[in-house]
Chain A
Amino acid sequence: MIELRHVTRRYGAKRAVDDVSFSVADGESIALWGSNGAGKTTLLRCLLGTTRYEGEITVDGIAPNRDGRAARQRIGYVPQTMPTFDLTVSEMVVLVARLRDADPRQGIAQLERFGLGHTLKQTMASLSGGMRQKLALTLALLGDARVLLLDEPTANLDAQSQAELITMLVELKAHGRTIVFTSHRWSEVRALADRVVTLDQGRCVGIGSVAETARIADEVQLRVDLLPETVAPAVALLREHGYATERHGDSALVTVDTRKKAEPLVLLARSRYAVTDFTVEDET
């Protein structure tokens, strides 16, 4: 269904995607795994044909850099955060249905299945994060797109919305959709992926089954909530001590060995950073 051969995307001297090759079979689900800046989102943009790249990509036999429209007709895209159009939910469904040559009634029916039938007259701005992502998924499914590309679809959702969205995606996978998604959460990868493509600084450093991806299997993600003014220096401190850490709002997401989960908390406490709460996000 999807083929990538020696795909490279340069920004000046920097290679955001560096000689990446892999294939995705029809109905398969692939997780793109890696830290921020690993090249996951850029790779999704290459697949959509919305950025230039070297090498070859085909989606259902179509090269996105040569016939982007035809490739995107086969692809449904769910961004990390669905942008807010100044439209109501039903107007948005109609707009995207027109762009995708689809029947808007298909989208309305899908929204009802997702429990969003009551939001049709609401503006997009009034929807919660979880509702907006379900709307994004509804729109991605319009026109029966065979491939779904999802860019950290649950990154900004609460635990319940995350679980609901993943359940929906698992159902879609069971119905034969081909899925390529990026994620920071191991639990999602485990629930949804058949294989994991691990990226590091643009390079593909491993392709394997979920079980084979031993590096991540030994790690968990710790979400550490901090006082807003201390997040930036705390993230810097954790990075100085070798922890792969990213900032998410007022939290630090720390990748840590499963047997050493307390270490970053101890480090922060010793350095007098107030930890207001913490969660182990991805217990393997």
Chain B
Amino acid sequence: MRLSTVAALGQREMADALRNRWFIAYAGAFVVLSVALALLVINSAGYGGISGFGRTSAGLVNLVLFLAPLMGLTLGAQALANEREQGTLGYLMAQPVSFLEVFLAKFLGLAVAIASAIVSGFALSTLTINALSGGEGMDTFFGLTGLTVLLALAALSVGYLISSVSRRTSTALGIAIVVWLALVLIGDLGLMGTAVIMKLSPGELMGLTLLNPLELYRIASIFLLRDSLELLGPSGLVAHDWFGGSISLVLGALLMAWIAVPLAVAYRTMARQEQR
């Protein structure tokens, strides 16, 4: 693999992302809402137990749970299908490049663009709070930024998988929206319903919860903010029992797996199709 090729194609992908109206809308919404949330928290400081960064972080978790997966899924879903539909992928493959280079460059380019949007949103809200109320809880904020980037990249990876099996961009986008709804709304409510109907044990419930990257993020964020999972009730105790002091590592590794596995499957699928 030639790094110069990956760099050239990755830069083109980043430039494309910056011209993509979906990306601009997501990044803009994320940055504006993050700063608005920080200002809201500062204005209402003193009413809760947590203040400054802690409260902003708690609010941001809920914002991120909606926006970051939507951003990753839809941008990822467009990436390969659009390239194939426009004929640009076929043209690139006629150049002295390998499919792995094109695939990785596209992923890395988009990943950097998405990560930059997230870091910008978090950084601006950090600066806002720092300027207005002091700098407590900064480490939490940095941790949350890292977790959010991981969640967005996991969603991007799933978006890539959707893109790899879709012939048309519109189909890929439709599937991405359905998957987003399933993860954000149906996954949560469905799990609650399943737990009641099937009378799931706390262990089974925690096991199923960990299958959803959004829940992984939510649990990891709670652990980051509270340093314990008591808030989750018996399931939280099960998690503590299973993973002990390595909860952060395990949750981080599971989020990483959500990046690596769909990406590997997408690559395998696309590489086969490209050789047809």
A interface residues, Cβ below 8 angstroms from B: 11, 48, 50-52, 68-70, 72-73, 75, 77, 79, 81-87, 91, 95-96, 98-101
Contact = CB atoms under 8 A, between A and B. Distances in A.
Nearest to B92: A99
Interface stretch (B82-90, B161-169, B173-181, B248-256): B82-90
B19 A79 contact: no
B150 to A, nearest CB: 28
A72 B94 contact: yes
A77 B87 contact: no
A50 B87 contact: no
B43 interface: no
B23 to A, nearest CB: 12
Contacts of B91: 77, 79, 82-83
Contact of A50 (B9, B86, B94): B94
Contact of A70 (B19, B88, B96): B96
B199 interface: no
Contact of B90 (A83, A85, A101): A83
B96 A83 contact: no
B240 interface: no
A79 B276 contact: no
Nearest to A72: B96
A48 B96 CA distance: 9
A98 B8 contact: yes
A51 B94 CA distance: 11
B276 A77 contact: no
Interface in B59-93: 86-88, 90-93
9 contacts: A69-B96, A72-B97, A77-B94, A77-B95, A87-B12, A91-B12, A98-B4, A99-B8, A101-B96
B19 A86 contact: yes
Contacts of B9: 95, 99
Contacts of A81: 87
Band of interface residues on B: 20 to 34
A69 B97 contact: yes
Contacts of B94: 48, 50, 72, 75, 77, 79
B274 interface: yes
Given A81-B87, A98-B4, A86 B16 contact: yes
Given A84-B86, A85-B88, A100 B96 contact: yes
Contacts of B90: 50, 79, 83
B22 to A, nearest CB: 13
B5 interface: yes
Q: Is the interface of B mostly helix, strand, loop or mixed?
A: helix
Contact of B8 (A83, A84, A95): A95
Interface of B: 4-5, 8-9, 12, 15-16, 19, 86-88, 90-98, 274-276
Contact of A96 (B86, B95, B98): B95
Contacts of B93: 48, 50
A79 B87 contact: yes
Nearest to B7: A98
Contacts of B276: 11, 51-52
B80 to A, nearest CB: 14
A52 B9 CA distance: 24
Contact of B274 (A50, A69, A98): A50
Contacts of A85: 12, 88
A51 B8 CA distance: 24
A99 B15 CA distance: 17
Given A82-B91, A83-B86, A84-B86, A95 B96 contact: no
A21 B5 CA distance: 34
Contacts of B19: 86
Nearest to A140: B94
Contacts of B88: 83-85
> Ordered nearest first, which 4 A-B pairs have the shortest CB separation?
A83-B87, A98-B8, A77-B94, A73-B96
A48 B275 CA distance: 11
Nearest to B98: A69
A99 B16 contact: no
A82 B91 CA distance: 8
Contacts of A73: 96
B97 A99 contact: yes
A85 to B, nearest CB: 6
Contacts of A77: 91, 94-95
A11 B273 CA distance: 12
Nearest to A50: B93
Nearest to B12: A95
Contacts of A11: 276
A86 B94 CA distance: 18
A72 B95 contact: yes
B269 to A, nearest CB: 16
B274 A99 contact: no
Contacts of A69: 96-98
A140 to B, nearest CB: 9
Nearest to A145: B96
Contacts of B92: 99
